[in-house]
Structure 1
Amino acid sequence: MSQLYDVDAIYRAMGFHCPPFRITPDTSFFFPHSQYLAALGRLRFGASSGGLTVLTGEVGLGKTLLCRYFLRQLAASPEVCTAYIFNPKQSYTELLASLYRDLTGEAPELHAAGALHDALYAQLIRLAEAGKRVIFIVDEAHALEPGLIEGLRLLTNLETENRKLASLMLFGQTELDELLATRQLRALRERITVWHKLRPFGWMETAEYVNHRINRARAEGQFSFTRAALLAVRHYSGGIPRRINILCDRALLAAFAHQKSRVDLPLLRLAARETFGSVQSL
């Protein structure tokens, strides 16, 4: 039987209390870069305005991490209630039930869409009377069927004489931009008050991101990437955080195998070949 490595022990031996480049959306690794801070500012505006907010970006740009970080901020506001949809592959009835459960903490006893809609509306009224703002947040929204998006729009049309009862936030890949551009969803598109798009990191941003994650996970020691290696990270990853994480994790383990306390350009190239296959030299 081949020997299994204790990966956590490898990270500890390199001076880290946890893996610096895991790809799970861990909010403790949130990168406070100007792009993400600007996105948070727009999300906060959208939440307070009661309108429709859309945030899109290519795969791996950190949308889910940003979404969860924002949810954590909202949880600290006693006047805000959120309903979070992370599985968009649902029927409209299942969607209504999920929203009701998030807002009440109880599974609905009703099973028909019309009855669930009425129960949800009554709950929104109660929350509004208690001075609460309700925000529906949908992650992976590009996977929503157009009919579900239209249903969410109708839900956010619910209002009293002086205020909307709920606002809506959609996080998704760039396919969501294309979906919202269709004629079928023109009524929803006209209600978008905030539409923000994430972009890949540049050269300097990539270096700052890598160093941020290393410093966040560091327990001791001086493990680092050389300047040339950081430039190569941007070259091979395209500045996409998920690809950066995968590449840098492979480079870190390569450094351990070669008994080095830093990643230099040859090690980074080796990691790029192992990660992405055939790669172009700098």
Structure 2
Amino acid sequence: MGVQGNTLGACYTVLGFKSIPFSITPDTALAFPGDQYVRAYHQLHYASMNGSLAVLSAEIGLGKTLVVRCLIRALPANVKVAYVLNPLLGGEALLREIYSEFNGGAAPPAGTDSNLNQLLVQKILQGAGQGHKHVVIVDEAHRLSADALEVLRLLSNLETEHTKLISLVLVGQPELEKTLGMRSMRPLRERIAIWQRLQPMSRVECAAYVRHRIAQTHSDGQFGFTDAALASLHWRTKGVPRRINLVGERAILLACAQKTRRITWGMVWEASNEFSKAWK
């Protein structure tokens, strides 16, 4: 994301940035290649290409959406993706959304609600015959109803003698794990081939994350956090990337006001105080 058009652009430019390092908007160009993120990405990529059911869970702000966006961006052209962003859909509405995504955005024909499942199966079979793979990715999946989860389970039944015809990726907060752990969810749970959970960053990972973001966005690299500032950043944010981004952005504003390219412990502490109440 370039600095042009952003209200903070002048400040970033003065400090030598060519783009914004700590935006909370998931930016695949700034994806941090930490071990757990690389592992989750490769596991989900494998699931998407091999007809598997995969689950990615994490607390708020740990980077689930960025992993998914990196995945979608990297999938080959023959993979059709239905990326469902509204988990509150009922079973029928979910089928309609998936059909539309696989159909280039076009909704099912009028009057076909009664046989949506059949239409979707035909669409997937037709695509498979043309060499296409199909993957359904549901974000905020912890909010899916039992009806919607049953629809997804039935879709996962689609297969030929040699291969599964559809992959499923469920992405959500830890509540998703609780839902899938229910006895009634056993038929779906037993189909899960890959289960990844993201954790908060360690102090070492936090420092590497900050340095990575600055290296990717600064014009000459002559900007940074002191070791004490990095330690403070990890302590105040508990290693949560979204929090790191919020505090990092505020700290850069303080550096701009003080006309320095070095962020100190005090700047991080002052910046994080703006969010401390919300994070308790």
TM-score (norm 2): 0.93
Partner Cα separation in structure 2 for residue 192 and residue 20 of structure 1: 36
Amino acid corresponding to residue 77 of structure 2 in structure 1: P
Match of 1:64 in 2: 65
Match of 2:3 in 1: none
Q: Would you say the 8 A contact 1:96–1:113 is kept in 2?
A: no
Q: Which runs of 4+ in 1 moved over 6 A?
A: none
Q: Does 1:246 find its partner at 2:246? A: yes
Partner Cα separation in structure 2 for residue 278 and residue 262 of structure 1: 27
Q: Would you say the 8 A contact 1:40–1:70 is kept in 2?
A: yes
Between stretches 155-164 and 140-149, larger displacement belongs to 155-164
1:125-144 aligned within 5 A? 125-144=125-144
Match of 1:124 in 2: 124
Q: Match of 1:68, SS? A: helix
1:50-89 aligned within 5 A? 50-74=51-75, 77-89=76-88
Q: Match of 1:15, SS? A: coil
Q: Match of 1:157, SS? A: coil
Amino acid corresponding to residue 175 of structure 2 in structure 1: E
Match of 2:46 in 1: 45
Q: Match of 1:84, SS? A: strand
Q: Would you say the 8 A contact 1:86–1:138 is kept in 2?
A: yes
Match of 1:156 in 2: 156
Match of 1:8 in 2: 9
Q: Would you say the 8 A contact 1:93–1:112 is kept in 2?
A: no
C-alpha spacing 1:124/1:272, structure 2 compared with 1 (3 Å)? same
Q: Would you say the 8 A contact 1:225–1:264 is kept in 2?
A: yes
Partner Cα separation in structure 1 for residue 151 and residue 111 of structure 2: 17
TM-score (norm 1): 0.92
Q: Would you say the 8 A contact 1:81–1:133 is kept in 2?
A: yes
Q: Does 1:217 find its partner at 2:212? A: no
Q: Which runs of 5+ in 1 are unaligned?
A: none
Q: Would you say the 8 A contact 1:93–1:111 is kept in 2?
A: no
CA distances 1:211-268 after superposition (whole Å, capped 9, x unpaired): 1111111124611100110011111100010011011111111111122211111111
CA distances 1:74-124 after superposition (whole Å, capped 9, x unpaired): 1xx133221111111112222112111111112211455432111111111
Partner Cα separation in structure 1 for residue 138 and residue 233 of structure 2: 32
Match of 1:98 in 2: 97
Partner Cα separation in structure 2 for residue 107 and residue 245 of structure 1: 38
C-alpha spacing 1:111/1:145, structure 2 compared with 1 (3 Å)? farther
CA distances 1:156-213 after superposition (whole Å, capped 9, x unpaired): 2122333322111101111101110011211000000001111111011000101111
Q: Match of 2:161, SS? A: coil
Identity %: 41
Partner Cα separation in structure 1 for residue 142 and residue 7 of structure 2: 38
Partner Cα separation in structure 2 for residue 210 and residue 269 of structure 1: 16
Between stretches 100-109 and 203-212, larger displacement belongs to 100-109
Match of 1:204 in 2: 204
Q: Match of 1:239, SS? A: coil
- For this pair of structures, how many residues does the alignment match? 274
Partner Cα separation in structure 2 for residue 255 and residue 42 of structure 1: 39
Q: Which runs of 5+ in 2 are unaligned?
A: 1-5
